[in-house]
A = this chain, B = another copy of it.
Amino acid sequence: MASQWVNPRDSKFLLHEVLKIDEEMLGKAPFEGIDPEMVDMVVDGAATFGEGELAPHYPDEARGKPIEAVFNDNVVRAPEAYKTLWKHFAEGGWLSISDGPELGGQGLPSVVAAACNEFFFACNQAFTLVPMLTVGAARLIEKFCSDELKAAFLKKMFDGTWSGTMCLTEPVAGSDVGALKATAKKNADGSYSISGTKCFITYGDHDLCENIVHVVLARIEGDPVGTQGISIFVIPKNRVNPDGSVGESNDVVTGNVEHKMGIHGSPTCTLNFGENGKCVGYLMGRERDGMKIMFHLMNEERQNIGLMGTGLAGSAYLHALAYAKDRLQGSSMGARAPGKQVPIIQHPDVRRMLMVQKSVVEGIRLLSLYCFYTMDKGKAATTEDEKMKYQALIEILTPIVKAYCTDMGMVVNHLAVQTYGGYGYCRDYPVEQMQRDQRINSIYEGTNGIQALDLVSRKLGMSGGKLLTLLLNETNAVIGQALDTAELRQEAQRVEEAVHALATTASALGGIAKTSPTVPLLAACDLLNCFGDTLCGWLHLWMALTAKKALNSAESEEDRLFYQGKIEGAKFFVNRITSLVPAKCEVLAKDETSAMRISEGAFAV
């Protein structure tokens, strides 16, 4: 049953009934030991942990007193309560749900871990960034480091003794990673001396555990400029003694902690590496393979940020829904005389706001889970063709999931505040903070503009447009079934038209690019969102078809309500959102280059 924070019922519906993981993957390699009951136990456990432990420490203010990460006397302190959260998070096994037993993990499918992580983000994004980055950094070490480094770091990261970060950005190198200035110089013992400043480092420093393991991009002296000359290093905050214990400082010094709009509990740090020439780093993989290696972590985090967008939108929606059922204002429609006040959920415009929230949240939830599902399918694939197909789907889905789930998440968070009216603007209600927290998700880990360029300039053109074709083909079966279902025929037609418009527009933009190369770039962000509107339309059809079948055999009133809600949600989303895709695409494929023609000086005189 949905609380005001998480909706495990919906996640289980998606896992078992829509994506059918029981038949598709459980009990088969590499998930031989996993059965549906285990999945439910983990999902329910994550919901309980999120709601019971993380959510109570969500507020970043209590009675006007800020609860935030602070930087004083050169020490960074996370909110006091996070220490217990971090301990319990690790003890609960939440760091390694989908990792192998050799890493202390449970080996569940990634899609199940994703469902759990969505709950954690929904309940406390600022906190959950630390386990997320720790796991990401650890997995990179597992994949690209020597056994010696693995032995030194992995166990302690997966059991929460140490945490991890990723360090890309520098003051002059944000979206333009290739411009970084951090340097590495090889030492006699094979290690490297690192020097440079990194900024915007999430959990770059804190007091939650005894050591922090940084994964850092730097350029080895003499290597080429640009991204191709970048290497990647593991750099612990404190050196590690031969016995594995924490040794002396590794000359990583915090210069600053940012004051931000939201995620106040998460320390965003500027880190100075090697100011005193004593910072030692260890190469991951080979020299100059830095970007290729970092992309493993970046893609994983981009998919996770899609989950964050979904999670924060989801908890905001559930809060707004509860408020709308509780708050009395106005009399019921059609009543002429002022009468008894009714809950505002009875007013059409409030219902519209709630339906946008519900249908967007449930659409982006499945979209983000579907991306993790394709990873599992790829892992389980037995042929090279199948593996390549799922790899291609992940490639094209990643920028869409990152950007669309966060852009649309923001729409939901905005409407959740709006549902509360004036109270929504006050810090006493969590929807206020949720909107501020959500705001970061369209910025970090590659802005949504960078995601759109990745989609339009790289992914759509890769392998002669094969990724696009594969993705759009995925929608065929569901659309076909829905076309055969009277109740969903109109919606199926609209999704089909949207899919067609995407294919046509991608191809048209490819043509225009030859004469007007900026047109596809000017279209990129809006086109990415058209992809999202279309894919979520398809996924809504999939949910509605599943619900329609299940409705026939539903035994409880609760089940009937759940499935009926799915069908109405699908109609709303497709008819009001997906149906606009063809018109939006038509605009984007026009040769509209006023934004390029205008002189810089003419933007404001």
Measured CB to CB, the residues of A under 8 A from B are 1-2, 7, 9-10, 61, 64, 169, 172-176, 178-179, 200, 225-227, 258-262, 317-318, 321, 325, 328-330, 333-334, 337-338, 341, 345, 347-355, 358, 410, 414, 417-418, 421-422, 424-428, 432, 435-436, 439-440, 442-444, 447-449, 452-453, 517-518, 521-522, 524-525, 558-559, 561-562, 564-565, 568-569, 571-572, 575-576, 579-580, 582-584, 587, 590, 592, 594-605
State which of B1, B354, B592 has its C-beta within 8 Å of the C-beta of A571. B592
Point out the residue from B259, B260, B602 that lies within 8 Å of A568, measured CB to CB. Answer: B602
| B residues less than 8 Å from A64 (CB atoms) | 259
Are B439 and A435 closer than 8 Å at their CB atoms?
yes
Query: Which chain B residue has the least Cβ–Cβ distance from A559?
Result: B605
Question: Do B449 and A418 have beta carbons less than 8 Å apart?
Answer: yes
Nearest B residue (CB) for A523: B352
Query: Ordered nearest first, which 6 A-B pairs have the shortest CB separation?
Result: A226-B338, A565-B602, A583-B583, A348-B521, A562-B605, A2-B604
Inter-subunit contact B576/A587 (CB<8 Å): yes
A539 to B7, CA, bound (A): 46
**A2 to B602 Cα, complex, angstroms:** 11
Question: Are A330 and B61 interface neighbours, CB within 8 A?
Answer: no
Q: Are A595 and B348 in contact (CB under 8 A)?
A: yes
Inter-subunit contact A594/B575 (CB<8 Å): yes
A452 surroundings in chain B (CB, below 8 A): 349
A358 and B604 contact, Cβ closer than 8 Å, known pairs A174-B422, A338-B226, A447-B421:
yes
Which residues of the other chain, B, contact A350 by a CB distance below 8 angstroms? 449
Q: Which residue of B lies closest to A174 (CB)?
A: B421
5 A-B contact pairs sorted by A residue (CB < 8 Å): A64-B259, A176-B330, A349-B522, A352-B595, A575-B587
Q: Are B439 and A417 in contact (CB under 8 A)?
A: yes
Residue from the set A258, A443, A558, A595 with the largest chain B CB neighbour count within 10 Å:
A595
Bound Cα distance A559, B422 (Å): 44
A579 to B583, CA, bound (A): 9
Within 8 Å CB of A598, what residues of B? Answer: 351, 355, 564-565, 568-569
A572-B600 contact, Cβ under 8 Å, with A176-B329, A176-B341: no
CB-nearest residue of chain B to A450 = B349
Cβ–Cβ contact A443 & B421, under 8 A = yes
Chain B residues near A592: list those with CB within 8 A: 571-572, 575-576
Q: Is the CB of B602 within 8 A of A427?
A: no
Report the separation of the CA atoms of residues A417 and B597 in the bound assembly, to the nearest whole angstrom: 24
Cα(A174)–Cα(B452), bound, Å: 41
From residue A255, how far is it (CB to closest CB) to chain B in Å? 14
A337 to chain B minimum Cβ distance, whole angstroms, is: 7
Contact A426:B318 (CB < 8 A) given known A349-B521, A418-B443: no
Query: With A348-B518, A447-B418 in contact, do A259 and B426 touch (Cβ < 8 Å)?
Result: yes
Measured between beta carbons, the chain B residues less than 8 angstroms from A443 are: 417-418, 421-422, 424-425
**Given the complex of chains A and B, what is the CA–CA distance between A225 and B174 in angstroms?**
60
- Given A261-B425, A358-B604, 9 more pairs with CB closer than 8 A: A226-B338, A259-B428, A347-B521, A348-B524, A418-B442, A418-B448, A435-B439, A575-B592, A582-B583
Q: Give the docked Cα–Cα distance between A176 and B422 (Å).
A: 13
Specify which chain B residues have a CB less than 8 angstroms from the CB of A558 in the assembled complex.
605
Q: Chain B contacts of A333 at CB under 8 A? A: 517-518, 521
CA distance A5 to B352 in the complex (A): 36
Question: Which residue of the partner chain, among B61, B260, B325, B522, contacts A425 with CB atoms under 8 Å?
Answer: B260
